[in-house]
Structures are given as C-alpha cells and as structure tokens.
A and B are shown apart, each in its own frame.
Chain A
Amino acid sequence: MTTTQRQSPPAGAPTGSAPSGPASNRRAGGRPKLSEKKRDGIAGYLFLTPWLIGFFVLTLGPMLISLYLAFTKYNLFTDPEWIGLDNFTRMFADPQYQQSVQITLVYVLVGTPIKLAAALGVAMLLNYRSKGTGFFRSAFYAPSLIGASVSVAIVWRAMFNADGPVDTGLGFLGVDVGGWVGNPALVMPMMILLAVWQFGAPMVIFLAGLKQIPGELYEAADVDGAGPWRKFRSVTLPMLSPVIFFNLLLEMIGAFQIFASAFIISSGTGGPAGSTNFYTVYLYQRAFGDLQMGYASAMAWLLLVVVGIAAFVLFRTSKFWVHYGGDLK
C-alpha cells in the first residue's frame, strides 16, 4: 500500500498537482521513506528476533566467553585468572591429550571412509527396483535413528564383552580374541564398527543422489560396452561426487565430535587405558570432572580450529574431484 493510492485526487483536480501533493505531505509528516522491499526486510528480521536473541545470548555470547576462558585458569568457583597461552602449551606436554588426539584422528581417518563406503554400497543395492525395497530402506535406516541413543551403546557393550555374542560367534570360527570392551587394542575397531553400523543418514542422501543420475548415461555406457565396474567408476562416482563431498564433510565433522557412544561404553572413564578417551570425552572430563574450565575451553577452540582447517582443505581439494552438473565431460 502506498499513500498515493489513498490520496487519489478528487475528480476534476488538475492532474499536474497530484504527484507533488502526496510527496510534500510525506516530507511534512517526517515519515521515513520505505520501499516495499525494505519493509519486508524489517518484518523478516522481526520474525527472526527470537532466533537472533537465542543466537547472540545462548550461542555467540557463550562462545566468545569461552574464547576468553581459553586463556585463563578457571575452576567455576574463583574468578578466571589470565594465564595467556599456558593452556595451549600445556596441551602439547599432556600425554593424555596427545593420546586423545591420536585416537580421535584414527577414528576420523579410518572410520569415516569405511562408513561412507558402507552407506554407498547399501544405497546402490537399494537403488535397484525390486520387491520390498521400501522395507529394506527403512530397516537399514533404523540403526541411525536409534543409533545415537544410550541404549544402543549399552547393547553394543554387552555384545562385545567376553562371552558376549561376538566373542562366542568368533569362537565358533576358531578365532579366540576374548572380550573387545576391556582390551585397549580392540576397543577402536569396535567403536568404528558401531559408527559404520549407523550408516543410515548418509545412505539416504546417497540414495537420493543415485536417483538423480540420468538413466541415459548408463544406457550410453552400455552401448559403449562398459561393464559394471567401469560404469561405477566413470558414471556413478563422478555424477555422485557432489553428494559424496557433502556426506564426507558432514561425517568428518561428526566423527571429530564423537562423544555419547564412547562415554557410555567406557562408563565415562575413557578407559580401558585411555583407549576411548576421544577428544570430546577428555574435554568433558577436564571440564566437569576436574573443573579445569580454562583448559577445556582451550581444547574446544583448538578443536574448532582444526575442524575448520580440515573442512577448508576438503573444500580446496573438491575442485579436483567434485563435478557439478555443467562440467561433465
């Protein structure tokens, strides 16, 4: 709505004065000149205020304070004491910290590719039209829905204990490894298996990506005499690369932040012998077990920086292997 419409001149008034009238009125009243676009913008921001308040008060504010705390010694009771870079230098001399970085990196670098490969493999199987695909899709997705829950980690723990189903099953095959949960060397494979098993989310995204690949490409490849492997390498992978990139990024960031399953499987101790002391588990212990909030804040910020760098590197490499629609050769 504009004022001009409301103040349409009476019939017979000189047409020449019509435009100047409303314009001078507006100036006299001191009302701001707002275009429709601007007003929409303001309304938009008004609607956003609850979220903005939440963002500034509950997210950005605390994050900035934790950045400050990262340079202090703070135990929740006494005022933070500025100690400069001491928290960061301490990390590099802290054997537990180094161990937690090491196992977290192994988990990210080994676990993520395996999980994505599993997700892609199952997605490709489910991409075939056959009876019961709907059921299988739901069935394979289910572990991810319940996967983050406490109960699954508890079940997992029971399964991999000495004399649990896994130990017994392997015993039948003549492999006698005993329990996995108490063995520092076998906890990592178990954790990775748990992560891989929860492949549902990337699988669904892969499936959607697979559906987008035009069938003509496969037909053309058939005509050229390409076998299944060739089709996979030369059609599926390049066409799917944006989706792979997306999944890789999300899963990598998620893997860096592994917490709940490790926390439950070790009963919160990060044991045995620190083998489930993943980065965020250790951070949590330092913060809430030992009340070393400054040190924990410093750890959190270093993690943020490292994940940021990893994501950046991934983005930079993407131009070599991610093909978006237009540049298909």
Chain B
Amino acid sequence: MFYKHSRRTATAVAATAATILALTGCAGSGPAAEGGSTFDPDKEVTVNFTWWGNDDRAAKYTEAIELFEKEYPNVTVNGTFTDYPSYWEKRTTEAAGGGLPDVMQFDYSQMDSFGSRGLLYNLTPEYGENIDVDSIPESALSVGDIDGDSYGLISSTNAWAMFQDKTQLASLGLEPYEGGTGWDDYYDWIADVTAKGGGVYGGADPTQRIQNFELSLRQEGENLYTDKGELGFDEGDLTDFWESASDIRKSDIVPQQRLEELNPVSGFGANIAASELTWDNFGAGYIADSGKSVDDIVLTTPPTSDADAKDLYLKPSMLLAMSSKTKVGAAGAKLIDFLTNSPEVGKIFGASRGIPASETQRDGAELSGQDANVLAYEESITDRLGDAPPLPPEGAASIEQKFWDLGKSIDLGAISIDDAVKQFFDEAEIALNN
C-alpha cells in the first residue's frame, strides 16, 4: 500500500490536527438534509467529486465525467483522487474542518463513522426524484441505511474469493485447488505445490487476513462484530484460528520476509504464490502486477469447514455519498445517479469497481475477460451466500489493519500467538471506544 509521503516533525503532526481545530472550530453536526431538491438544468454548478484508486481508475472516471458533463452542460465536475489509506486521512481531517467534498466514493467500513455523525447527506428524498433506484435490488439498496434513511448508494458489489494461476500450476504438473472443501485440504494442497514448485509456493498464510477469520466465524454462524458493534469472538477463537496454520507456517507458505520486500505487490501478483484469497474484483490489479493473462486466472470458492454454511456474502465494494454540508444538492444527486445507472459508465468501468449493483449499468457493462470471470464467480456462489454482516462499527478499519500487522509479525517469528492475541484484544478495545 502507498501512503502519503511527507515529512512531519513530531510536534507538527499534532499541530496539524490542532490547527484544523483552531482555525475552524469543531465540526458540529450538519444541517438537516433538505432532500428532494429539484434539478435546474440552466443553473451553473460546480460539483467537487473525489475517489480513491490508481491512475487506471482515474482515467475511467475522467471519461465518465466527460460523458456526464456532455449530458448536463451547466454542471462542472471537479474530480480528485488519492490512494486508499490517505483517502481516509484526508476525509477525516476535512470532516473535522467541515469541508467534505460534495460527492465522495465511500467504503462500507466507513459508513457508520461518517453517517451516524450527521456528516453525510440524506439521499432518501432524492430517490425517485434525481436518483433512479428502480434497477437496484432492495437488499443492495439498504446497505447504506442508517436508522432507516439512506446515506450512501451502493455502486457495485464484490465477494471473497480464491485466485489461482492454472497455467503456472499446469506447468508444474498440478491441478488447481478445487475450492469449497475443508481448510486442511487446502493446506495439504499448499504443501504439495510448495514441495513440487521449485521456488513457487502454494500460497501465503491465509490467517493474516481478517476476512478469512470472518469466514471461519460465519461457518459457525458468528460474525466479526455483533449488532451492537462489539467483537463477535473471544481470545480462544482467535488463538485457535492463528494456530490452525501452524503446520504450513513452518515451511509451506511464502516466507513473510519475501512478502515484505515485494510489498505492495502480493505473492500472487509477483508469481511466487500459486493461490491467494482476496476480493474477487482484484483480478485487474493482479494481471497488471504479474503479467498473467485472463486465461491463466481461475476464481474458486474459498475453503470452508461446513459445505452447507452460508459463509460468503456480497459486500458493497463501494458506495457513493454526499456531504451533509453540500450546496449542490440536486446536481450532486444527478452525478450519483449517472455514475450508478448509466450503461455507458458501466461500459467504461467494466467490473473494476466490482460488479455493478444497478441492472441497467450491469447490462451496459458488456462484461468480458476477467470481468466476465468475476460475474460468473458471483453467480456460482449463490448457494453459499448468506446475509451481509451488520454494518462494521467505527474503528473496524483500524482493527482490520492491526489484525493483518499481527499476522505478519507471527509469520516473521517476531511475536508469539498468545502475545499477538493479547495485543489484538487490547488494541480492539481502544479502537472500538475511540
């Protein structure tokens, strides 16, 4: 991952935060949304719009914005973007200063932090008025709800999946992991690939990722977080989970030291791991990193301890939201509508934002290549799809990062599992009560 590169002295860091406070005062809750505004096509408006992503996504958004401006000649869209971690650093400081951009690409894990504080615009009155929601399934539409009102419109979905390189495996005389069997099966397969791989490993340690832990919890009918926003598991669950990979940790997985050097490219992206568990829309990134072709990649279902469990779910890969303090109202809503529903926009993005949630956009997307694989994958897992977990509480993003960091430290041998579990629960308590 890339972070913003800047040199800050110790005091300057704190001072920056304090300056924002001093200059602008604390952000109060925004004024009540005056939804359902009427769009005046003759009024000249500038809409500030921001998203996270790489250059590829920026080029796509630029193209989409041009189309929008052609359709609404008096609306000018001012687009800016940055990478994911600094995206949230910027948004939070802006929120504190009361200056959030008009329209923002939003993440599921941040909805609660911003939405429940009155920082986001109530979109419900805009639905049917400036935003067409007829082609979005009801279950998907409600993911941006807080207390019955919608604060974010889902633009696309993704699901947890396993990527494998079947060409690489075939060249080693091996078959891809079949998917959907027990974790032990998968671990045996990893050991087998590593043994025969001649430098290619079966995979990285899956217990580094909180999503795999979530999967194992959901196989037992639990979730990472309860409805009340508390942790849905205890020390014993986590210890068991991390210990479950103790056997492959010795020599079967890609050594963490190699992965640290490759970062931000992953083991699968660097062609030294034959499989990797991640979100199903990451294919384009893998292809760019590794030089693999679409035909090399196969998407399979993750391992499960219970073949009948409804452990997978469709996650909103991103939402679009507006600032509660925006002055553009209807024009911003029109932009959200266009980006979500327009078939032309679907054609531009394919499945690179995830599978479009709106049917009109999905039909226009003409998904091909890796995008078609993703769509086929999401259609193939319907039997394993369960209800989406409760909206992650505030602090979830920082807990996810902590989980990952500790997993890496365990693999580096820098911390014992017991110490890591203790540290995780200490940190989680702070993050959830921050």
Which chain A residues have a beta carbon within 8 Å of chain B's beta carbons? 57-59, 61-63, 65-66, 69-70, 73, 75-79, 95-96, 148, 150, 161-162, 178-179, 181-184, 256-257, 259-260, 263-264, 267-269, 271-274, 279-280, 283-284, 287-293, 296-297, 299-301, 303-304
Q: Beyond A58-B15, A65-B22, A268-B85: 6 further Cβ-contacts under 8 Å?
A: A61-B18, A62-B19, A69-B17, A182-B260, A267-B263, A280-B10
* Complex Cα gap A182–B255 (Å): 10
Contact indicator A299/B10 (Cβ below 8 Å): yes
Which residues from chain A contact B7 at a C-beta distance below 8 Å? 148, 259-260
By size class, the interface of chain B is: 35 or more
Q: With A292-B430, A292-B434 known to touch, is A287 a contact of B14 (CB < 8 Å)?
A: yes
Taking the closest CB of chain A, its distance from the CB of B246, in whole angstroms, is 18
Most-contacted residue by chain A among B5, B401, B409, B415 (CB, 10 A): B5
Assess whether B412 is interfacial by the CB under 8 Å rule.
yes
Q: Secondary structure at chain B's binding surface: helix, strand, loop or mixed?
A: helix
> For the complex, is B1 an interface residue (Cβ under 8 Å from A)?
yes
- Nearest chain B CB to A254's CB is how many angstroms away? 9
Taking the closest CB of chain A, its distance from the CB of B392, in whole angstroms, is 15
Given that A62-B15, A184-B414, A257-B10 are contacting pairs, would A290 and B398 also be in contact in the complex, using a CB cutoff of 8 Å?
Answer: yes
In order of increasing CB-CB distance, the 3 nearest A-B pairs are A268-B3, A182-B260, A273-B414
Query: Does B2 lie within 8 Å of A280, measured CB to CB?
Result: no
- 19 interchain pairs, CB-CB under 8 A: A57-B22, A59-B15, A63-B15, A66-B14, A66-B17, A66-B18, A76-B93, A77-B27, A77-B92, A178-B257, A184-B412, A259-B7, A271-B408, A272-B256, A273-B414, A280-B9, A288-B13, A289-B398, A292-B430
B293 → A minimal CB distance (Å): 25
Q: Is the CB of B9 within 8 A of A76?
A: no
**Hey, which chain A residues are within 8 Å of B6, CB to CB?**
260
Chain A nearest CB, measured from B395 CB (Å): 8
**Smallest distance from the beta carbon of A243 to chain B beta carbons, Å?**
24
Give the shortest distance, in Å, between B52 (CB) and chain A (any CB).
Answer: 15
Report the bound CA distance from A267 to B260 in whole Å. 10
The answer to whether A280 touches B8 (Cβ under 8 A) is yes
Interface-central residue, B7, B10, B259, by most chain A CB under 10 Å: B10
- Which partner residue on chain B sits nearest A301 by CB separation? B14
- In residues 1-55 of chain B, which contact A (Cβ within 8 Å)? 1-3, 5-11, 13-19, 21-22, 26-27
A61: which B residues are within 8 A, CB to CB?
18-19, 22
CA distance A181 to B264 in the complex (A): 13
For B11, B14, B16, B258, the residue with the greatest tally of chain A CB atoms inside 10 Å of its CB is: B14
Tell me the bound Cα distance from A161 to B17 in angstroms.
35
Bound CA–CA A95/B2 (angstroms): 25
Known: A66-B14, A259-B8, A280-B8. A76 touches B95 (CB 8 A): yes
Given the complex, which residues of B lie within 8 Å of A280, measured CB to CB?
A: 8-10, 13
Query: Chain A residue with minimal CB distance to B117?
Result: A77
Nearest A residue to B259 via CB reads: A182
- Pick the contact of B260: A76, A77, A272 (CB < 8 A): A272
Residues of A within 8 A of B117 (CB): 77-78
With a CB–CB cut-off of 8 A, which chain B residues contact A179? 257-258, 261
With most chain B CB atoms within 10 A of its CB, the pick from A58, A65, A181, A303 is: A65
CA distance A296 to B260 in the complex (A): 26
- Whether A267 and B257, one on each chain, are in contact in the complex, defined by CB atoms closer than 8 angstroms, is no
B178 at the interface (CB under 8 A from A): no
Complex: A96 Cα to B408 Cα, angstroms: 15
Say whether A182 contacts B1, CB under 8 Å: no
